[in-house]
A = this chain, B = another copy of it.
Amino acid sequence: MIESTLVSVDVLALRFDPNARTVLLGVAPRALEPFAGALALPGVLLGRGERLRDAARRAVTGKLGVPEEAISASGQLATFDEPSRDPRGPTLSIALWSTIDATRLTGAGPTWTQLDDVPPLAFDHDRIVRDCRPMLADRLWRDTTFTAGLLGREFTTAQALDLTESLTGDRPYPANLGRTMERVPGLERTAQHAAALPKGGRPPSVWRWTT
């Protein structure tokens, strides 16, 4: 009987912070060797018969301390198979994304780092983040589960602009993003307007998912 490679699930736990106007990535210091104390993506070994989504949930709640209800959505990204990526021995890493609803976060949270400025991480987690980043940008406005997971059920044009800038690297014209969003199935512009920013400016529209 061939001994099989171990499988770990590593999660890119993403949260959009409307105040910081950027996407944040949840990381946590490792409790055990190897890389004890170093920051890492939340990850767990996949249990026998466990589903990937459940393992991701377990990683996010266990390693980041995020409550279960705050996880709004998740999905697959890619699999990393370098045999030397874990010094303990060959371990497959299946990378998933999860979106976190900030409004349901309780008190003491994990470390949230800017997605554009992730500190050095344990294992090959830097590479995982680097390789998966374009896939995340690609999902925006195309994968409604992902986008709604980041923005919540209702959001403003201002937030949509900030989120897009944070994920793709440049800021769209408000007019053009509005037309893009009107073409997204399941998304509609409401008649409401939110409060204007502290600095002033026209109050942005409120958008809502119909599904």
**Contact of A5 with B7 in the complex, beta carbons under 8 Å:** yes
- Nearest B-chain residue to A49, judged by Cβ: B90
Q: Mark A154-168, 1 if CB is under 8 A from B, else 0.
A: 000000000000000
Tell me, in angstroms, the Cα distance from A52 to B81 when the chains sit together.
7
Given A46-B92, A92-B46 in contact, is the A81-B51 Cβ separation under 8 Å? yes
Main secondary structure of the interface of A (DSSP, over half): loop
Taking the complex as formed, is A72 at the interface, i.e. its CB lies under 8 A from any CB of chain B?
no
Tell me, in angstroms, the Cα distance from A79 to B94 when the chains sit together.
9
Number of copies: 2
- Residues of B contacting A7 with CB < 8 Å? 4-5, 7, 92
**Contact of B5 with A48 in the complex, beta carbons under 8 Å:** yes
Which A residues, 48 to 97, have Cβ-Cβ distances below 8 Å to chain B?
A: 48-52, 76, 78-79, 81-83, 89-90, 92, 94
Chain A residues touching B, range: 20 to 34
Taking the complex as formed, is A47 at the interface, i.e. its CB lies under 8 A from any CB of chain B?
yes
Taking the complex as formed, is A2 at the interface, i.e. its CB lies under 8 A from any CB of chain B?
yes
**Contact of B45 with A4 in the complex, beta carbons under 8 Å:** yes
**Contact of A5 with B76 in the complex, beta carbons under 8 Å:** no
Taking the complex as formed, is A170 at the interface, i.e. its CB lies under 8 A from any CB of chain B?
no
**Contact of B3 with A48 in the complex, beta carbons under 8 Å:** yes
Q: Which of A7, A81, A89 has most B Cβ within 10 Å?
A: A81
- Residues of B contacting A90 with CB < 8 Å? 48-50
- Residues of B contacting A184 with CB < 8 Å? none
Tell me which of B4, B45, B82 contacts A6 (CB under 8 A). B4
**Contact of B46 with A4 in the complex, beta carbons under 8 Å:** yes
- Residues of B contacting A92 with CB < 8 Å? 7, 46
- Residues of B contacting A82 with CB < 8 Å? 51
- Residues of B contacting A79 with CB < 8 Å? 52, 76, 79, 94
Tell me, in angstroms, the Cα distance from A50 to B76 when the chains sit together.
21
Q: How far is the CB of A60 from chain B (nearest CB, A)?
A: 17
Binding site for B on A (CB under 8 A): 2-7, 45-52, 76, 78-79, 81-83, 89-90, 92, 94
